[in-house]
Structure 1
Amino acid sequence: MASSTRSAGHGTSRVRSGTSHAPDPTFATGRPGTSATRCVGTSRSSSIASRRRSPNPCTWRRSRASCCSCTPCRHGPRSAERALPPGARTSRSALHPEPATPSERTWRSALPSEQIASHALEVRGGRVSARQGRTLSGMDWQQRLELVVGTMEELSRHEDPQDMVRSYGERVKDLFPMDRRLSLTRRGVEAPSFRIARSTTWEQQPDPWRERDRLPVMEGGLLGELMDADVPRFIEDLDVDADDPAHEYFAGMRSLLSIPVFDKGAALNVVVLMSEQESGFDPQRIPEVVWTTNLLGRATHSLVLARELRVTNDALDRELTAVAEIQRSLLPEALPILPGMLIAVAYRTAARAGGDYYDLFSLPDDRTGLLVADVSGHGTPAAVIMAITHSLAHTYAGPAGPPGRLLEHLNDHLVARYTDRTSAFVTAFYGVYDPATRVLAWSSAGHNPPRVHRTSGEIVELGGGGGPPLGVVGGSAYVESSIALGPGDRIAIYTDGIPEARDPDGAFFGLDRLDHAVQEGGTPKEIVDLTMASLDTFANGRAFHDDRTLLVVEFE
């Protein structure tokens, strides 16, 4: 018999064959220019009708120079391989001399696929079991649909790619019977090397994404040729040389189907299905299997990316949690008891960390400094500038007043070292209260005007004066203003995340709701609690996109 022989890196692999055709990824039998598994078991003079009646359309045997005992077919022995890899050679002097005749194409298309498949499926009680004697194509469309829907339903439950591939491997035995399955991959290695990522011969299956170093690395041989082919290969009569580097994986197998799995146009992975029988796969179903295998590959790749994203997000979340903890440690651990003042504060960030900042300073002569600042943006970048602002405020060695001096100090250092090369800026309100005179001296760096609620019901907005936001223009001056406060008067110092919070319809929370909470809330603690609860009720589940800080002081 003639055989085709392929060169390999570590040996040769032989595929039993008669004549061989040029590589062709098309698997529809009986088309001109394609290889056929069977040769017509009649003489050339047989009629088309007698060919159709032939009870034994036979397969090319390695022990004969013609098909079984019949007169040699008009085209001689046919190839046992659907498409040889590029560069494969045949020992015959010539390839198939001419395309099949229309009559032979008619005869081949009439072959029932049931003669090829060795297993079948039966839907019974909602479950599918393998049986001898029927084929999947013999099931009606409702049974096949039930089988496919059940498979898709099960696969959709998996979030781990390893579990999904394992589940599909069990299901595919029913959908497309086989005896052995391998998966090859080039991820993480350079050609011509490849890894065997999965094998049904292994007792334990490493996770090919997390335990890549446990996967065997190979070169050459039949698997190497299949890995390089970039097109499906159907070898119907398999005979692999003993010196093939992957010979153990082919032991006892008589036919093979390789399926490239594409990623960005390249076949980085190949699935190899094998059967203990010659011609163990139904050619009519091969396109469907190639299609579904690649769809599974895309789904698996999506799960791998999702898992990697979860790992990355978890790591990032841990880092942001640490940043938030550090940031909160910069805020006053507990509100001090200050002469002539009752103080409460609420602090909420839109993300793990935020850019809002408040602080209280004990100054000479029982005076108290009240600082509320808001860094542009939110999240980690804002938290970094917030930490810098905190450090600059606590290293200020100048006089306690006027308040504008502290803002000038913060502004000049931010512009000189931090914000001049970025778009970040900081709004801030700083006030110094003297209980002896009951006067609050203050200055603002572009901050939202605080609201003073008199016991008479009057609401005074501390606007005007001050200067631009911090970190924008170096050398800016910040004008001081002052206001006298009576017993029971209250001041609400807030960041813009409160009035600019939105409900599901896009309406703003506004200042009226804030004023209502200050007037009706009772103590400073009750006021901040009522305001935060009102914000949550108003948002009605809509996410807050900015940090929210409210500091309320009642003067005794």
Structure 2
Amino acid sequence: MRRVHTQSRPNVALLTEVLRDISMMDDPRDVLAAFGRGLRKLRPFDLIASVSKRGLHDGEYKVTRLFTPAELPTAGQRAEAPDPWRQWDQLPTHTGGFIGAVLADGLPQLFEELTLEHDPVLGEKIREIGGVGSCQAIPAYDAGQPLNWLFRFRKDPRGFTMEEFEQDILTTNLFGGATKNLVTAQRLHETNLKLRDQFQQIAQIQRGLLPAKSPTIPGLSLATSYLTSDQAGGDYYDFFPFADGTWGILIADVSGHGAAAATVMAMLRAILHCFEDPSPSPDAVLTYANDRLLRANLEGSFVTAFFAIYNPALATLTYARCGHNPPRLRKKNGDITSLDTDGTVPLGLFAPIEPKSTALKLEPGDTVVLYTDGITEAFDLNRDMFGLQRLDHAIRHAKPCPDSVIDDIHKALFDFNLSRNRDDDQTIVAFRYDPYNEQACKADKP
């Protein structure tokens, strides 16, 4: 085998340098300038015009670039001309002239013995450089249409060979495709930044709709956690003091992600805060919410919800469930059971629904953990789910205070998937029936 040393050839070395530089650029203007500098050395020219008729009427066009070799920006400089991709409206629209006649034909063309000093569009620039004698006009096709063109002029009346013309048809179109891809990538990046900003604004609004701090509820020690995913979601929790001294405790999850889920979450909050009943029941609250959501015509969105009413005087927790994960109940001895009951379908799908309330007598040391499916349906790198078994293990081995329970669930999740990123919102509401204020956080693990 014999290796041929190609880098000693000037054109190979130049092409390598130009393509390497272009591969590191993310602005189409820089790419165009780098291509022009390489073209000046590989294919000398006296004047270049880039032209586009994208989005214009037949016969109309815009000259997006018009420069001589001396006017090319050097490496690291930015052209002072308007950015045609961002400042399209600032460029004048033309008709007629030499360019108009070429565009009307729509095919690559080669011209010799040119006299264009009096051309209505190019004439002034051509007179400045002392005239041109030849031109190759090459379209860059986009979806089969010659939307963008490169006009390369030389003063020599027979300045281009047919071989050069044929090669430049390919080169121009390859460069045009690369530029188009870069423009698309840049616009996608800008769109993603705008969307990220919007999602951050939505997330801030969502946080503002959640309780600013956990309320003081007689007989309960309470903790909450609300961790968002990369997209705006629809997790929601809240507390409702009722006139009869009882407290409503809610956790809910709107289907989907993004602005739609956040909007439904805000609607649900407004609906529930308008509920008026001096002696409410969980089934009445959920039925009320379902009726109002149906009137809003959610078009495929729905809400899973668990609503409980805690009665401090009776030490009872009465609850109902609509499609939501059954909360976990940890007894003082560490045993874990499920607050499962005959639930209904999620809210917002159809009516009537008939959620059934179930009453639980709380005992000192009982800890209840409400959560959304972003906890149990978190995945690791092998696409295994965190699941109920791991959740129960974390709850069972945590210190009995709610803060510690939540911390241990988060630690178990991180140990499971080794990531702080989340595919879904993860919300936890944990409370412990502690009528004697035993300061459970300082107690030993069971």
TM-score category (smaller protein): 0.7 to 0.9
Amino acid aligned to 2:151 = V
Aligned equivalent of 2:428: 550
Q: Residues 553 and 141 of structure 1: is their aligned pair in 2 closer, same or farther, counting only changes over 3 Å?
A: same
| Structure 1: distance between partners of 2:267 and 2:409 | 29
| Structure 2: distance between partners of 1:473 and 1:234 | 70
Residues 39-118 of structure 1: matches in 2 within 5 Å?
Answer: none
> 1:309 Cα shift?
2.2
> 1:391 Cα shift?
0.8
The one-character-per-residue Cα deviations of 1:88-144 (angstroms, maximum 9, x if unpaired) are: xxxxxxxxxxxxxxxxxxxxxxxxxxxxxxxxxxxxxxxxxxxxxxxxxxx988543
> Is contact 1:416-1:474 (8 Å) kept?
no
> 1:542 Cα shift?
9.0
> Is contact 1:502-1:542 (8 Å) kept?
no
Aligned equivalent of 1:39: none
1:213 aligns with 2:77: no
> Is contact 1:504-1:542 (8 Å) kept?
no
| Structure 2: distance between partners of 1:404 and 1:214 | 62
Aligned equivalent of 2:74: none
SS in 2 for 1:392: helix
| Structure 1: distance between partners of 2:207 and 2:248 | 19
> 1:541 Cα shift?
4.0
> 1:547 Cα shift?
2.1
> 1:245 Cα shift?
4.4
Aligned equivalent of 2:376: 499
Aligned equivalent of 2:271: 392
Amino acid aligned to 1:501 = A
Q: Residues 245 and 482 of structure 1: is their aligned pair in 2 closer, same or farther, counting only changes over 3 Å?
A: closer
> Is contact 1:339-1:366 (8 Å) kept?
no
Aligned equivalent of 2:200: 321
Aligned equivalent of 1:12: none
> 1:397 Cα shift?
0.6
Aligned equivalent of 1:52: none
> Is contact 2:244-2:278 (8 Å) kept?
no
Q: Give the total of aligned pairs.
A: 416
Q: Residues 492 and 303 of structure 1: is their aligned pair in 2 closer, same or farther, counting only changes over 3 Å?
A: same
Q: Residues 510 and 323 of structure 1: is their aligned pair in 2 closer, same or farther, counting only changes over 3 Å?
A: same
The one-character-per-residue Cα deviations of 1:458-482 (angstroms, maximum 9, x if unpaired) are: 2221112343321223122221111
Aligned equivalent of 1:415: 294
Structure 1 or 2: larger helix share?
2
Residues 116-195 of structure 1: matches in 2 within 5 Å?
Answer: 143-195=10-62
> Is contact 2:140-2:148 (8 Å) kept?
yes
> 1:351 Cα shift?
3.6
> Is contact 1:503-1:542 (8 Å) kept?
no
1:535 aligns with 2:402: no
| Structure 2: distance between partners of 1:216 and 1:437 | 80
> 1:314 Cα shift?
2.5
> 1:339 Cα shift?
1.1
1:200 aligns with 2:67: yes
SS in 2 for 1:274: strand
Aligned equivalent of 2:233: 354
SS in 2 for 1:418: coil
| Structure 2: distance between partners of 1:502 and 1:426 | 22
Q: Structure 2: any 5+ residue segments left out of the alignment?
A: 1-5, 72-78, 435-446
Amino acid aligned to 2:159 = G
Aligned equivalent of 1:426: 303
SS in 1 for 2:376: coil
SS in 1 for 2:132: coil
Q: Structure 1: any 5+ residue segments left out of the alignment?
A: 1-138
1:249 aligns with 2:125: yes
Query: Identity across aligned pairs (percent)?
Result: 35
Structure-2-length-normalised TM-score: 0.87
The more displaced of 170-179 and 198-207 is: 198-207
Q: Residues 140 and 330 of structure 1: is their aligned pair in 2 closer, same or farther, counting only changes over 3 Å?
A: closer
Amino acid aligned to 1:468 = V
Amino acid aligned to 1:525 = D
1:266 aligns with 2:142: no
The one-character-per-residue Cα deviations of 1:229-266 (angstroms, maximum 9, x if unpaired) are: 32222223222363654322333222211111111112
SS in 1 for 2:59: coil
> Is contact 2:378-2:385 (8 Å) kept?
yes
> Is contact 1:253-1:274 (8 Å) kept?
yes
| Structure 1: distance between partners of 2:357 and 2:90 | 71
> 1:183 Cα shift?
1.0
Q: Residues 400 and 156 of structure 1: is their aligned pair in 2 closer, same or farther, counting only changes over 3 Å?
A: farther
| Structure 2: distance between partners of 1:154 and 1:442 | 65
> Is contact 1:180-1:274 (8 Å) kept?
yes
Aligned equivalent of 1:225: 101
Amino acid aligned to 1:534 = A
Larger Rg over CA atoms: 1
The more displaced of 155-164 and 465-474 is: 465-474
> Is contact 2:49-2:151 (8 Å) kept?
yes
SS in 2 for 1:455: coil
| Structure 2: distance between partners of 1:286 and 1:537 | 63
> 1:218 Cα shift?
2.4
> 1:291 Cα shift?
0.8
Aligned equivalent of 2:439: none
> Is contact 2:336-2:396 (8 Å) kept?
no
The more displaced of 473-482 and 534-543 is: 534-543
The one-character-per-residue Cα deviations of 1:397-437 (angstroms, maximum 9, x if unpaired) are: 12333221111111122123333xx2222111111112222
> Is contact 1:254-1:274 (8 Å) kept?
yes
Q: 1:335 aligns with which of 203, 214, 222?
A: 214
SS in 1 for 2:309: strand
